[in-house]
Structures are given as C-alpha cells and as structure tokens.
Structure 1
Amino acid sequence: MNDPVAGPEIPPEVSEFIENRTYDEIQIGDQSVLTRTLRPEDIQLFAIMSGDVNPAHVDPEYAHSSMFHEVIAHGMWGGALISTVLGTEFPGPGTIYVSQTLKFSRPVKVGDTITITVTCTQKFDHNKHMIFDCLCT
C-alpha cells in the first residue's frame, strides 16, 4: 500500500526517464531541452487537474468568439512543463524551486509544438542554490 505522505510509487517505465544531476555536476550554461506537442487531451487533463475550466480552454464554440478564435492551452501548462524538466531531469529528483516569473508571448494552440529550454545562469556555493533561465518557444 502506498504511503499517502510519500505519494504513489513511481512505475519502473516512468522512473527510467528520470535523471539527476548534482549541484557540483552542473555548470553555468548547462541546459536541458524538452519538446512537447499540445494535444486536446492535455488541455482536458490540465483543466481537470487544476480546476480551471475557463471556456477559452475547454469550449471550442466559446473560444471561437474569443480574441484567439480557438481553444488555447492554459498558460500554466507551459509552467508545468518547466517543472517537469526541473523535477525529473535538470537538476532532477529532489529539486525544489522557490520562485518563478512568467511572461506569455503568444497562446499555445492544439497541435503547436513547444520546446522548453532550461539553462543554468547562476550558482551560489554558500547554499547550493541555482538560478535557471526557462524559455518555452
């Protein structure tokens, strides 16, 4: 039985994709890249998970009359993909990020492919913290 505090066990097929890089292994300028294509089911799952059922995201008829004229991804879908990189690959498991500033340049629509690039820009030896530049294009 899973410990509710520890969370569910990670299935082996998922854990094989999880990497970890330690503070000492990461150099300024190192980066990691993740590419994803937005699917309708991504929007539906994000709406269910977040509770954000804004019709701009989930109702094609409503979205057609909006400023973008079609369903768009939740802005935080991109933020969640940044979290995916930080928590599973770069640096990886154990990473806790404490601040995030986002700027949305354009909407992401179904079928759009975005690339998330996470780059280490600063390291602080006294507390082993790092600053990353995260860009979704």
Structure 2
Amino acid sequence: MMRPGDRASLTRAYTAADLAAFAALSGAAPGDTVPEPLIGALFSCLLGTRLPGPGTGWLKQTLHHHAPARLLEPLTATVELTRLRPEKRLADLACTCLGADGRLICTGRALMLLPPGCVDLHQDVS
C-alpha cells in the first residue's frame, strides 16, 4: 500500500537529437537548453508508470522552473507522496528535478485520482 513519504525517481540526460525531435514536433527552434515540457515529461513518466502508477488520473499539476537544464546534463526527477486521501482516492505529490550538480531545476505539485482498489479506504495514513 502507498504511504506518505513513498518516492520514485528517474535520471535522464537529453541529447541534441532529443531536442531536435522535440523542435520538429512542436515547431519551436531547437535550443541549447532542455525545453520545459521535456522536464515536465519526466514527472509524467513517474506519475503514470511508478507512483502512483497505471490507471492514475491527473487532476492538477503545477510546475515552477528555477534554472535551465543543459544539454547532456543528467537530470534526476523525483515524485514524493505527501498526502493520501483514501476516502476520495486522491494523492498529493511533490515533484522535484535536480541537475547534475544538485542545483534546483524545477519544483511542483501534482494531484492525482487513484484507480479503484488502489488504496484501502480504512488505511491509516497519519
């Protein structure tokens, strides 16, 4: 069962080819820093596949970008369950992305609707 404090992380470095592919899809000119939507995609991957995982619905997500991410820089995205509301099947998560040197790239929050049966309605989440 999920509990507040549960975390999931992934690390990825974007290449020039990744940025060119994103530019081709979005119509934006390729740059020398990672576009913000690609940083957001790291959180989407974690939320949809790891924590809370498959069957989860996005209700709200906010992201604040603090510093640009460099090409080929390993970025570590982490989501952490901060609050679980089993009676409503809701999960609140903190989102953080750090650069290779530990500098803060992005922070945010996500509110997710959990799939039926994902959480025990009588679970003690304190």
**TM class, shorter-chain normalised?**
0.7 to 0.9
Measured after TM superposition, the shift of residue 52 of structure 1 is 4.2
Which protein is bigger by CA-based radius of gyration? Answer: 1
Which residue in the other structure is 1:28 paired with? Answer: 4
Query: 2:52 & 2:86 partners in 1: Cα distance?
Result: 15
Distance in 2 (CA, whole Å) between partners of 1:52 and 1:92 is 31
Structure 1 portions without partners, runs of 5+: 1-24, 60-70
TM-score for both structures, normalised by structure 1: 0.67
1:111 aligns to 2:87 (yes or no): no
- Identify if the C-alpha distance between structure 1 residues 133 and 106 changes in structure 2 by more than 3 Å, giving closer, same or farther: same
In structure 1, what is the Cα distance between the partners aligned to 2:86 and 2:55?
A: 18
Relative to its length, the structure with more strand (as a share) is 2
For the aligned residue pairs, the C-alpha RMSD in angstroms reads 1.3
Task: Give the TM-score, by structure 2 length.
Answer: 0.72
Match of 2:15?
39
Which of the two has greater helix per residue?
1
Alignment CA distance shift 1:131-1:36 (3 Å) = same
The aligned counterpart of 2:103 is: none
Of 78, 96, 100 in structure 2, the residue corresponding to residue 135 of structure 1 is: 96
Unpaired runs of at least 5, structure 2: 99-126
